[in-house]
Structure 1
Amino acid sequence: MSQKELLKVTNLKKYFPIKGGFFGKKINDVKAIDDISFSIKEGETLSIVGESGCGKSTTGRAVLRLDEPTEGSIEFDGVDLLTLNKKQMRKMRKDIQIIFQDPYASLNPRQTVRQILNEAIEIQNVVPKKERNDTIHNLMEIVGLQPHQIDRFPHEFSGGQRQRIGIARALSVNPKLIVCDEAVSALDVSIQAQILNLLKRLQREFNLTYLFISHDLGVVRHISDRIVVMYLGRIVEIGDKKSIFENPEHPYTKALLSAIPIPDPRKRKNKIFLKGDIPSPIDPPTGCRFHTRCPFVTDKCKTEEPLLRQTADMNNGHLGACHYMEQIKSGEHKPLPEVLSLK
């Protein structure tokens, strides 16, 4: 049985205006997201990866309309979110929740855990008043916290425990989709594993769907079903986890994968060093946005923008945005000599 498409994002753009001059007129835009499309099926985990500044977190915030999109459509469970007014969107947020990167900054320091969870339940009115106390105790147990900790304040918890409170808050309104915005990046590695395992268990138990945003490919490999690779506001590759990790097609994806630490020296492959820094999203490069750092760049890359497409040996649904995917794979297209790689 095929899964239902829960979220469909089409031609999404988010530009942040830059104002200047005496009258504060708009002089330019920061093109944080520039025409991206993807979909997530019910019960699936879609991860977005890329360097800082590529538009990952802005995509998650735009889906929730925490940052109002500039253009495009966001269809959730058959409803176009961009057609909803503030009151309707507030009601819809019962079904779409977010877990933030910093578990301390996202919790009210003046409220106890009981008050934090009760506030979320009360706003959406998902549980009758007389049942809320039992629901809060149940949420504590579900996320691995003790009932006696319920009247403590956020500063009395460790980072991992605070993130569990954040997860409990997201779960308290029975959501269908949870946006995990760098949900484990602020935690120790051992705690990261515990939180990831908790998220996977909750997904199985409550049939949750995740939009998982991360810069850590090791984390993404553990939790994802499909992966979107972003660079400078655009999608450069999208595919299922196995295809992306075993058969990467875009040079940028290959560079990201080469940076994953591998303990066994015999299994290490060449590490790809990209030249220069990521360009400014205020004035992105013409043609392929990756051409300023790509080891396979040609004049065509500088002028003609590559479309997301599938080559003959790519799995169904695996798409890459590079003019020379076939030639690079066959060895016909060689990297420029000045781009170094290290074993």
Structure 2
Amino acid sequence: MCMKKELLKVKDLKQYFPIKGGMLGRTVNHVKAVDGVTFDVYEGETVSIVGESGCGKSTTGRAILRLDEPTSGEVVFDGDDLLSLNKAQMRKKRKDLQIIFQDPYASINPRHTVRQILDEALEIQNVVPKSQRNDKIRELMETVGLGPHQIDRFPHEFSGGQRQRIGIARALSVDPKLIICDEAVSALDVSIQAQVINLLKKLQREFKLTYLFISHDLGVVRHISDRVIVMYLGRIVEIGDKTSVFDNPQHPYTKALLSAIPVPEPGKKKERVILKGDVPSPINPPEGCRFHTRCPFATDLCTTDTPELKAEDYMKEGHLAACHYMDEIESGKHKPKY
């Protein structure tokens, strides 16, 4: 049996942002945006990170690319420790690591034509000789479903979906191994979302790409993912293959998220899990299980002891969740408080 190659390994990644205060501007506290995240990504797969706004999913993606310098942890990509590389080495490594941002208009220089946008990436990474760049740009445009005759247009002359295709072409231009899709379709209309998702899947098959897909849209995540990571307040609360997480969720937070997905069949209803209270501040997150302030199953143990990611006997291999009472909740022995 052929084992997949581990392309990305993230271990105990932390991203704390300092809060300055006082006359001297000293650091008085930290926003713990990502607090000890560990996972891996294998070649050719799509791993999605999901969670509410502010859970740390986008910050995780930026920290992996060192767009924000991580506070601590390890990020090993294709055998190289990214956090040990200097700026020149990291720039070379970014050829294999690309990102597609949420807002294609904000992430593209409005003063440059598509030709200039794509040519800049090709020049920085020296992907093809200068004499061949125009041909490469035209090829990229056709690959993402745009016409070569559009290469001298400016971003404002394109629709939102077309601009996102330009962003995809820019990421694809340097022949990357891993692309981080940071809410890549959330700003698009639903019909355009489907087109872009299908394009991403087609490109993955054609160019053997690996995706780290960051999204809050669970419907899109279910369509595109191989594995799913659920984050809450800077930590992973559940991880597993797509079928396990969607059909057999174990963490109460995951169950609440999945219960909010609309049912496409008219007249069919499902039980909705309503969470009480607001998401706590990442400046002073709760002790123990960070979800205990909103969890209907929480006990005193949850307020003091941090649960580790683990699996029960009935769970599929590779499916892990961080909850003290998974088995009891599954068997019905542990009842919700409300």
The CA deviation at 1:268 is 2.6
Q: Which runs of 5+ in 1 are unaligned?
A: 338-343
Deviations 1:117-169 (A, max 9, x none): 00000000011111111100000000000111110000000000000000000
The CA deviation at 1:263 is 2.4
Instruction: State the TM-score, normalized to the length of structure 1.
Output: 0.98
Are 2:276 and 1:271 aligned?
no
Are 2:76 and 1:75 aligned?
yes
Q: Which residue type is aligned with residue 259 of structure 1?
A: A
Q: Where in structure 2 are the equivalents of 1:95-106 lying within 5 Å?
A: 95-106=96-107
Are 2:118 and 1:117 aligned?
yes
Task: Measure the CA separation in 1 of the matches of 2:41 and 2:135.
Answer: 33
Q: Which runs of 5+ in 2 are unaligned?
A: none
Task: Measure the CA separation in 2 of the matches of 1:268 and 1:199.
Answer: 32
Task: Measure the CA separation in 2 of the matches of 1:22 and 1:2.
Answer: 57
Q: Where in structure 2 are the equivalents of 1:189-338 lying within 5 Å?
A: 189-337=190-338
Q: Which residue type is aligned with residue 95 of structure 1?
A: D
The CA deviation at 1:327 is 0.5
Task: Measure the CA separation in 2 of the matches of 1:265 and 1:145.
Answer: 37
Task: Measure the CA separation in 1 of the matches of 2:172 and 2:11.
Answer: 27
Are 2:16 and 1:7 aligned?
no
Aligned to 1:340: none
Task: Measure the CA separation in 2 of the matches of 1:67 and 1:2.
Answer: 33
Q: Which residue type is aligned with residue 295 of structure 1?
A: P
Task: Measure the CA separation in 2 of the matches of 1:268 and 1:237.
Answer: 25
Secondary structure of 1:271's aligned partner: coil
Q: Which residue type is aligned with residue 278 of structure 1?
A: V
Secondary structure of 2:309's aligned partner: coil
Structure 1's consecutive aligned runs of 4 or more residues displaced over 6 angstroms after TM superposition are: none
The CA deviation at 1:52 is 0.2
Task: Measure the CA separation in 2 of the matches of 1:210 and 1:190.
Answer: 22
Deviations 1:34-70 (A, max 9, x none): 0010000000100000000000000000000001000
Task: Measure the CA separation in 2 of the matches of 1:227 and 1:36.
Answer: 14
Task: Measure the CA separation in 2 of the matches of 1:203 and 1:277.
Answer: 38
Q: How many residues get paired? A: 337
Secondary structure of 1:180's aligned partner: strand
The CA deviation at 1:265 is 4.5
Task: Measure the CA separation in 1 of the matches of 2:169 and 2:220.
Answer: 21
Are 2:158 and 1:157 aligned?
yes
Q: Which residue type is aligned with residue 98 of structure 1?
A: I
Task: Measure the CA separation in 2 of the matches of 1:4 and 1:153.
Answer: 40
Residues 299, 265 of structure 1: CA spacing in aligned structure 2 closer, same or farther, 3 A cutoff?
farther
Aligned to 1:148: 149
Deviations 1:284-331 (A, max 9, x none): 000000000001011000111100000011111100000000000110
Are 2:49 and 1:39 aligned?
no
Secondary structure of 2:132's aligned partner: helix
Q: Which residue type is aligned with residue 287 of structure 1?
A: G
Residues 243, 267 of structure 1: CA spacing in aligned structure 2 closer, same or farther, 3 A cutoff?
farther
Aligned to 2:183: 182
The CA deviation at 1:266 is 4.8
Aligned to 2:137: 136
The CA deviation at 1:269 is 1.4
Task: Measure the CA separation in 2 of the matches of 1:36 and 1:253.
Answer: 17
Identical counterparts, % of pairs: 75
Task: Measure the CA separation in 2 of the matches of 1:82 and 1:305.
Answer: 27
The CA deviation at 1:267 is 3.9
Task: Measure the CA separation in 1 of the matches of 2:287 and 2:276.
Answer: 18
Task: Measure the CA separation in 1 of the matches of 2:268 and 2:61.
Answer: 35
Task: Measure the CA separation in 2 of the matches of 1:294 and 1:220.
Answer: 24
Deviations 1:227-283 (A, max 9, x none): 000000000000000000000000000000000011225543101110011000000
The CA deviation at 1:23 is 0.6
The CA deviation at 1:91 is 0.6
Task: Measure the CA separation in 2 of the matches of 1:22 and 1:129.
Answer: 53
Task: Measure the CA separation in 2 of the matches of 1:243 and 1:75.
Answer: 27
Aligned to 1:26: 27
Secondary structure of 2:254's aligned partner: helix
